């Protein structure tokens, strides 16, 4: 038997057939075009069911006997004819429609293959015409499973085929299974439309990950394996998609610290926690998952806590929490709760005009990727003036922003110079993969140079106006340092006190904080604003409702401590004690200055701050005199009048001093030179100090100084430069 596949016009012609040299046959083959004979059909049937397919023929072959062949590996076999038929095969011929139908009952796996429908050309006993080709696929359904997911969530399906580990696997919708999804390669994740697939040949498992469930994904699926070319084994999956996954949550964690994530799943299911990457959701070890006690006996959900300690940059990203259900041949993981884990660093606090460095550590696997530093989340569609990208060990520099990538240390650094109010805000570090992955952020807090100091008394009210540059970011925080406001500070939102109120004037860019009924504990440093902040120092003094002539010792001690904190010396404190004792009534029969507590306080103050006599003069007179011998004071003939007058006044003052305070007065700054008046007449001068000395004798009130010239000798030449009168 000679079988010609896919007959076409080039096959037409005269053939000579010879068998073992015993006989020869000459045959002419004509190839005619007929639409009925180009049909190739695909029929799928489950094991044990009846397979039915039809074959069309032209009117020219209505009365010709019908035949059926089946392709074998290297030949074809006749399985039905007018004179021969196999069990379980029957044929019915409808000559009015030119169709004969074939039925194969109780199909078995070996019934799969290619069937050829044809006619026997009666005039030539040795010629058969094949008019249709039918591909019969035998399906073995091993079970039915049901799974439920939520739109917007994720779904992982594991189809197990342990007896066919290396055979090709697939998943398809049962409405004809026209679109089969398969990885194409084994032991590697591949994307196919809206799903990711992985053919695990070691375990014989096909993993199917729906990256985002939609209502259109609901339906009946076949998760199967190609046992042979025309034999398949599958599990039927009925997938129900309900509305809405749980509202996504965002967790933030400081680098190096621990973060706890809470998950809830139905009571009868096993918890599944995973981290999403480009194609799938990687499972997290169950050692990090602990079950928590239910809040009530009626709680129909199990609550789990997932702990991640010593968080690093590789921990940032999207996590999913859901329920895992195991069936005979399938495992379903419905992921319903999305958790975005953002990492942050300590805030960067700078003042206006300074420079700021923002450090962005990253996972070493990203060292060849592009990195970005952005004010606000990085997005290739929305870039502002403080967004920039750097790749590998290069430097990117704009007007005020410079980026450097140190791949050895796995850190890229952004430096912003000449900080202004517009630079303050939240900055994100990102790595560019198929999209920008924002994984780490920090706050750039800018302290305004202008500060606000307020002093009030208890029971007063105060209103503090704060400027803001971001409508969505406002803060009023009490803390020693502005960096504490981001994490540990007491912000307005966390103050549970009716005395604090908040009003906003969005049009003016100002919001006001009102504090009523002030108390002493309200004193402190506040930071007003948000990323752009103003330092506010609020002092609330106590109000003493008592007799003005009465002064208790504790109040005296509190007052002395304030004076000491302000830098007053122990001798000054003693003067204040004497004044208090002189103007207030005694306490328990003794003055305030005689109190043991006050005496002890003064002794302690002196011990902490003992008197330190000046051992070295504060002025170096020799240096001053040496400077007077040179320009602009010398030579005398070319010196200008002003420096000459200043030199003369200083020399006269130095020559006439009789008290220490006279010397100090003469060395005061230029703005205080009016402390004395100098009258010059001929070779005499009169100094009249404006400060009245304690001793009012004549020499101190109007001292007359006679100016005499020095001899012009070699020994006295240098000394004469300090004399304003010369020969």
Given a cut of 80, is residue 690 above it in pLDDT? no
Buried b / exposed e along 163-195 (16+ C-beta atoms within 10 A): ebbebbbbbbbeeebeeebbbeebeebbebeeb
What is residue 199's predicted lDDT score, i.e. its pLDDT?
Answer: 92
Average pLDDT (404-419) is 89
Average pLDDT (114-140) is 79
Average pLDDT (462-487) is 74
Residue 49 pLDDT grade (very low, low, confident, very high; cuts 50, 70, 90): very high
Given a cut of 70, is residue 675 above it in pLDDT? no
For residue 261, which of 339, 153, 334, 316 has the smallest C-alpha distance? 339
Average pLDDT (377-394) is 55
In percent, how much of the chain has pLDDT > 70? 77
Given a cut of 90, is residue 105 above it in pLDDT? yes
What is residue 605's predicted lDDT score, i.e. its pLDDT?
Answer: 92
Given a cut of 70, is residue 657 above it in pLDDT? no
Query: Taking the complete model, does pTM exceed 0.75, yes or no?
Result: no
Report how far apart, in Å, the C-alpha atoms of 29 and of each of 3, 8, 78, 127, 441 are.
13, 11, 22, 10, 79
What is residue 52's predicted lDDT score, i.e. its pLDDT?
Answer: 93
What is residue 107's predicted lDDT score, i.e. its pLDDT?
Answer: 92
Can you spell out the DSSP letters for 147-166?
Answer: EEEETTSEEEEEEE-TT-TT
Gap between the Cα atoms of 614 and 696, Å rounded:
29
In percent, how much of the chain has pLDDT > 90? 12
Residue 670 pLDDT grade (very low, low, confident, very high; cuts 50, 70, 90): very low
Average pLDDT (133-161) is 89
Residue 689 pLDDT grade (very low, low, confident, very high; cuts 50, 70, 90): low
Given a cut of 80, is residue 700 above it in pLDDT? no
Residue 591 pLDDT grade (very low, low, confident, very high; cuts 50, 70, 90): confident
Given a cut of 60, is residue 688 above it in pLDDT? no
Q: Which tens digit of pLDDT belongs to each residue from 346-358? A: 888 888 889 999 9
What is residue 489's predicted lDDT score, i.e. its pLDDT?
Answer: 40
Backbone φ, ψ for residue 673 (5° rounding): -70, -5
Strands 270-276 and 401-406: unpaired
- Locate 241 and state its tokens: 């998609």
Q: Which tens digit of pLDDT belongs to each residue from 73-88? A: 778 888 888 888 888 8
Gap between the Cα atoms of 74 and 182, Å rounded:
29
Beta pairing partners, 335: 154, 322
What is residue 554's predicted lDDT score, i.e. its pLDDT?
Answer: 85
For residue 303, which of 264, 246, 266 has the smallest C-alpha distance? 264
For residue 95, which of 128, 47, 118, 62 has the smallest C-alpha distance? 62
Gap between the Cα atoms of 511 and 503, Å rounded:
6
What is residue 617's predicted lDDT score, i.e. its pLDDT?
Answer: 57
Average pLDDT (484-503) is 63
Are 315 and 307 in contact by the 8 Å Cβ rule? The answer is no
Given a cut of 60, is residue 230 above it in pLDDT? yes
Residue 565 pLDDT grade (very low, low, confident, very high; cuts 50, 70, 90): confident
Gap between the Cα atoms of 456 and 499, Å rounded:
15
Of 149-158, 343-352, 465-474, the one with minimum mean pLDDT is 465-474
Average pLDDT (447-459) is 86
Residue 383 pLDDT grade (very low, low, confident, very high; cuts 50, 70, 90): very low
Are 250 and 340 in contact by the 8 Å Cβ rule? The answer is yes
Average pLDDT, the chain: 79
What is residue 620's predicted lDDT score, i.e. its pLDDT?
Answer: 72
What is residue 356's predicted lDDT score, i.e. its pLDDT?
Answer: 92
| 3-state SS assignment for residue 365 | helix
Structure-model confidence comparison of residues 32 and 232, the more confident one:
232
Q: What's the N-to-C CA distance of the chain in angstroms?
A: 150
What is residue 382's predicted lDDT score, i.e. its pLDDT?
Answer: 46
Of 27-36, 199-208, 253-262, the one with minimum mean pLDDT is 27-36
Structure-model confidence comparison of residues 393 and 707, the more confident one:
707
Given a cut of 60, is residue 679 above it in pLDDT? no
Gap between the Cα atoms of 501 and 176, Å rounded:
66
For residue 215, which of 180, 175, 181, 242 has the smallest C-alpha distance? 242
Structure-model confidence comparison of residues 716 and 305, the more confident one:
305
Gap between the Cα atoms of 67 and 45, Å rounded:
22
SS3 per-residue string spanning 6-36: CCCHHHCEEEEEEECCCEEEEEEECCCCCHH
Residue 673 pLDDT grade (very low, low, confident, very high; cuts 50, 70, 90): very low
Given a cut of 50, is residue 488 above it in pLDDT? no
Compute the CA torsion angle 502, 506, 509, 513 (nearest 10 deg).
Answer: -10
């Amino acid at each position: 038997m000679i079988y010609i596949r896919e007959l076409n016009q080039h096959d037409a012609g005269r053939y000579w057939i010879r068998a073992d040299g015993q006989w020869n046959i000459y045959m002419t083959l004509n190839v005619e075009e007929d639409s009925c004979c180009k049909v190739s059909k695909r029929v799928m049937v489950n094991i044990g069911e009846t397979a039915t397919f039809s074959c069309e023929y032209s009117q020219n072959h209505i009365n010709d006997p019908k035949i059926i062949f089946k392709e074998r590996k290297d030949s074809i076999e006749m399985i039905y004819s007018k004179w021969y038929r196999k069990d379980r095969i029957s044929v019915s011929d409808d000559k009015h429609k030119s169709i004969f139908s074939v039925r194969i009952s109780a199909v078995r796996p070996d019934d799969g293959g290619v069937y050829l429908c044809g006619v026997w050309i009666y005039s030539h006993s040795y010629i058969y015409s094949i008019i249709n080709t039918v591909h019969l696929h035998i399906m073995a359904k091993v079970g039915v499973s049901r799974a439920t997911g939520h739109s917007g969530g994720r779904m992982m399906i594991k189809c197990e085929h342990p007896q066919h580990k290396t055979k090709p696997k697939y998943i398809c919708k049962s409405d004809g299974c026209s679109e089969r999804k398969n990885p194409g390669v084994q032991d590697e994740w591949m994307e196919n439309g809206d799903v990711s697939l992985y053919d695990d040949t070691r375990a014989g498992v096909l993993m199917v990950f729906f990256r985002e469930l939609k209502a259109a994904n609901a339906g009946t699926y076949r998760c199967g394996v190609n046992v042979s070319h025309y034999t398949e084994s599958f599990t039927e999956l009925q997938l129900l998609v309900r509305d809405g996954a749980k509202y996504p949550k965002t967790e933030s964690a400081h680098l190096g610290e621990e973060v706890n994530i809470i998950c809830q799943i139905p009571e009868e299911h096993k918890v599944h926690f995973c981290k999403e990457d480009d194609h799938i959701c990687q499972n997290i070890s169950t050692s990090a998952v602990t079950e928590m006690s239910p809040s009530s006996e009626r709680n129909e959900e199990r609550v789990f806590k997932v702990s991640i300690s010593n968080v690093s940059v590789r921990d940032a990203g999207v996590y999913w929490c859901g329920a895992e259900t195991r069936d005979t041949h399938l495992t379903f993981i419905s992921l319903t709760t999305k958790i975005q884990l953002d990492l942050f660093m300590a805030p960067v606090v700078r003042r206006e005009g300074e420079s700021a460095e923002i450090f962005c550590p990253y996972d070493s696997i990203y060292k060849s990727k592009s990195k970005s530093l952005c004010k606000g989340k990085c997005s290739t569609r929305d870039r502002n003036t403080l967004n920039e990208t750097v790749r590998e060990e290069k430097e990117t520099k704009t007007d005020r922003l410079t980026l450097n990538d140190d791949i050895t240390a796995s850190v890229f650094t952004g430096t912003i110079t000449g900080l202004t109010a517009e630079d303050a805000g939240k900055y994100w570090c990102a790595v560019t993969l198929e999209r920008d992955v924002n994984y780490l952020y920090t706050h750039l807090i800018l302290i305004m140079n202008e500060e606000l100091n307020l002093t009030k008394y208890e029971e007063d009210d105060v209103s503090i106006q704060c400027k803001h540059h971001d409508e969505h970011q406002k803060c009023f925080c009490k803390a020693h340092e502005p960096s504490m406001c981001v994490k540990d500070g007491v912000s307005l939102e966390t103050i549970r006190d009716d005395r604090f109120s908040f009003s906003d004037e969005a049009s003016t860019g100002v919001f006001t904080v009102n504090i009523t009924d002030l108390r002493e504990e309200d004193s402190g440093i506040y930071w007003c604003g948000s990323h752009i902040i103003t330092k506010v120092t609020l002092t609330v003094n106590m109000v003493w409702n008592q007799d003005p002539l009465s002064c208790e010792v504790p109040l005296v001690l509190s007052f002395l401590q304030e004076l000491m904190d302000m830098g007053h010396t122990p001798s000054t404190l003693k003067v204040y004690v004497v004044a208090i004792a002189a103007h207030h009534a005694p306490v328990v029969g003794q003055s305030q200055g005689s109190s043991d507590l006050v005496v002890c306080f003064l002794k302690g103050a002196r011990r902490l701050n003992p008197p330190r006599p000046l051992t070295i003069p504060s002025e170096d007179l020799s240096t001053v005199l040496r400077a007077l011998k040179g320009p602009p004071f010398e030579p005398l003939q070319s010196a200008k009048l002003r420096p000459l007058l200043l030199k003369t006044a200083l020399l006269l003052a130095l020559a006439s001093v009789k008290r220490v305070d006279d010397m100090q007065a003469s060395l005061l700054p230029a703005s205080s030179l009016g402390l004395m008046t100098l009258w010059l007449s001929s070779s005499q001068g009169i100094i009249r100090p404006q400060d009245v000395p304690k001793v009012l004798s004549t020499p101190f009130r109007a001292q007359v100084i006679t100016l005499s010239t020095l001899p012009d000798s070699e020994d006295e030449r240098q000394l004469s430069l300090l004399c304003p009168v010369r020969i």
